[in-house]
Chain A
Amino acid sequence: MAVSPEVRQYYAEKIFAAMGPGRVPESFRPLATPPTGFATVEGCRGGGKNLTEFALIGSEGTVLEASAACGLCNPAMYVAADILIRWIRGRSLAEILALDPRDVSALAPFFEALGGRRWPDDAREKFQYALAGVQNAVRNHAGEPALPVPEFDEPSSRDWADPTDE
């Protein structure tokens, strides 16, 4: 399955280029202290296994620190994890849980962080999985059980029109 140009560029410049022995992209560095919330999600479409872990440290209704770990992820999963980790840092738990991962328009802030005017569908699917994953990490922090991760539609080569682009 083809990687969209947006995902390819983000992955190559912001993630792949920052990797090396002893060099870990910022969102993927393990937390210095044990997490208060943790969840894994398997965005298992495409050639990758896409096992992604989300760890966060929350306090007083806010995410203070967060990090992701990717196991055999494809570029879109790395990108989605990176964008979600940056987005949840400093954000209120209530705001994170308010989004519905099945609602594509809820993903607008993530597409914005990806850059470009199109909403590539490979990113859409992995944003949905990543959002479901970070929400379960938030629930874990709050002492609530994880919700089952929905089966999101397989990515197609379709590009969503940016609904904010009237």
Chain B
Amino acid sequence: MTTLGRDIRELREAFPALARLRRGKPPIYLNNTCMTLRPRVVIDALRRYYEEFPTCGGGRSEGSRQLDNWFQEELREHEVHARQTAADLLGAASSDEIVWTRNTSEALNIVAHGLRLEPGDEVLGSEREHNSNLVPWLEAERRLRERAGDPELVVRRHFDLDEDGGFNLERALAAITPRTKVLAIAHASNLDGTVVPDDAIRALAARVHEVGGVLVLDAAQSVPHRRVDVRALGVDFLAFSIHKMCGPTGMGVLWGRYDLLAELDPFIVGGDTIADTWQDRVEYKKPPGRFEAGLQDYAGMLGAAAAIEYVTQTVGYDTIAAQELALNTRLTERLAPLTCDHFWLLGPRDPAQRGGVITMTSPSGALINAIERLGDREANIMVRRGMFCVNAYLHKRFDAVGSAKNNLRASVYFYNTLEECDAFADIVERVVRHPLDYFDDA
């Protein structure tokens, strides 16, 4: 299969996991929304740290020009390069705006803990935020309730999306009030792939700035798939996970506008976050150091740089978008006609609006189980079933129809093929057309 003249099979050869066989068949990996596979260049970058300069990267004073020893010097060079690579990826003003985290969740927690909210301030999100962009704000609400001595205090509010899950800018704008100190939204949904258009982000950023608030963008599902320029969008904080874009597991990034990072209280503190301490007080480093407590995942930083370079240069966002559209179009063409009383798709119909994600739902968990089990057994298909960490939205929308918990998601990345989509669609079709024949697998 070629996309924009690229041979996808050639790209696949870079991924050792795709060469594995079980029962004589290769894997069909369709759980890319959760984590992607890794190309050899990323694995090599990780190995490089451990084999060549596996040393302590901590203990440097801020802005120091002290001479490092041999291993530290080499590591330092890679660290600087990695942070700059992440900054360039996002169009950040400086690499000092890049904070390494373990993942998007940690990055969002740093922001939710660090902003100095006061009782009366509000945090706004859509009705469909990932738990990682909901729970940290509910915790902020709990802390403010305690502070205010008001158990009823509402801090976190939400606005509704369109009926089909599409983003509704008017509703979002209308929900911003003078109390809105934070607008925290997902750039792209991990449930149905819908994306908030760039124009909408810009309009929301402008409005939230007018009322003195900040826009926090959960970009876990956008940065791996499309160019995201923080300055062009006008956002204030942004979080994403490197492991969703071919990078090492447990690596993520918090980007923040430098002046805002400088005002953010540190969350996890201790070793390497400090400029100096005395028995009774502490002076923290400037960002990003103050947010990176303890010794870090240095191998992960090398792997992150390799992953970013691989995704943006070796593969390229154009190829990613074109391939995802081709794959999701095929999946949609095969799966949408199966719609019946026991099976339907979530989100907008048009695959162009859903990135690389297609989510199926059923009031019958047995049917979802059967598809997943059969796919695993017969064709090594790996998909995800459940609530995908958007429980609050699924409960709100689908508890009444009994389907909230019975969802199955297939998510593609550039290395997936039309043949893989067909193999998955064949399984879905068999089960949906003859569900009662497959309940033994449920």
A96 contacts which chain B residues (CB < 8 A)? none
A117 located at the interface, meaning its Cβ lies under 8 Å from any Cβ of chain B in the complex: no
Those of A19-56 within 8 Å (CB) of chain B: 19-25, 28-30, 46-49, 51
| A72 & B369 in contact (Cβ 8 Å cutoff) | yes
A1-9, A57-65, A104-112, A138-146 - the one binding chain B: A1-9
Contact A24 B441 (CB under 8 A): no
The interface size of chain A toward B, counting residues with CB under 8 Å, comes to: 31
State the CA gap A16–B406 with chains docked (Å): 14
Q: How far is the CA of A163 from the CA of B331 in the complex (A)?
A: 52
A75 engages B344 (CB within 8 Å): no
| A29–B401 CA distance with the chains assembled, in angstroms | 8
* A113 located at the interface, meaning its Cβ lies under 8 Å from any Cβ of chain B in the complex: no
Residue A115 lies at the interface, judged by CB distance under 8 Å to chain B = no
Instruction: Note all chain A residues with C-beta closer than 8 A to B401.
Output: 21-22, 24
Question: Are B400 and A74 closer than 8 Å at their CB atoms?
Answer: no
Residues of B within 8 A of A20 (CB): 341-342, 363
Count of A-B residue pairs with CB < 8 Å:
92
What string of 1s and 0s marks CB contacts (under 8 Å) between B393-405 and chain A?
Answer: 0000001111011
Give the shortest distance, in Å, between A92 (CB) and chain B (any CB): 28
Indicate if A71 sits at the interface (CB-CB under 8 A): yes
A78 to B387 CA separation, bound complex (whole angstroms): 18
Choose the segment among B4-12, B36-44, B260-268, B432-440 that binds chain A (4+ C-beta atoms closer than 8 Å).
B432-440
Q: Which residues of B contact A78 (CB under 8 A)?
A: 364-366
> What is the CB-to-nearest-CB distance from B404 to chain A, in angstroms, rounded to a whole number?
8
Interface status of A73 (Cβ within 8 A of chain B): yes
Complex contacts, A69 vs chain B, CB 8 Å: 399, 402, 404-405
* A149 CB–B CB distance under 8 Å: no
Distance (whole angstroms) from the CB of A166 to the closest CB of chain B? 33
CB–CB B442/A74 < 8 A: yes
Range of interface residues on B (Cβ < 8 Å): 20 to 34
The answer, yes or no, to whether A70 is at the interface (CB within 8 Å) is yes
A94 at the binding interface (Cβ < 8 Å): no
How many Å from the CB of A87 to the closest CB on chain B?
A: 20
Task: Find the residue from B341, B399, B439 having the highest chain A CB count within 10 A.
Answer: B439
A89 to chain B, nearest CB (A): 18
CB distance from B18 to the nearest CB of A (A): 25
B341 touches A70 (CB 8 A): no
Identify the interface centre among B369, B385, B406, B435: most chain A CB within 10 Å of its CB: B369
Residue ranges of B at the interface with A (Cβ–Cβ < 8 Å):
341-342, 344, 363-366, 368-370, 372-373, 385-387, 399-402, 404-406, 435-436, 439-442
Apart from A48-B369, A73-B366, A74-B369, what 8 extra A-B contacts exist at CB < 8 Å?
A: A19-B402, A24-B401, A47-B369, A48-B366, A72-B369, A73-B365, A74-B365, A78-B366
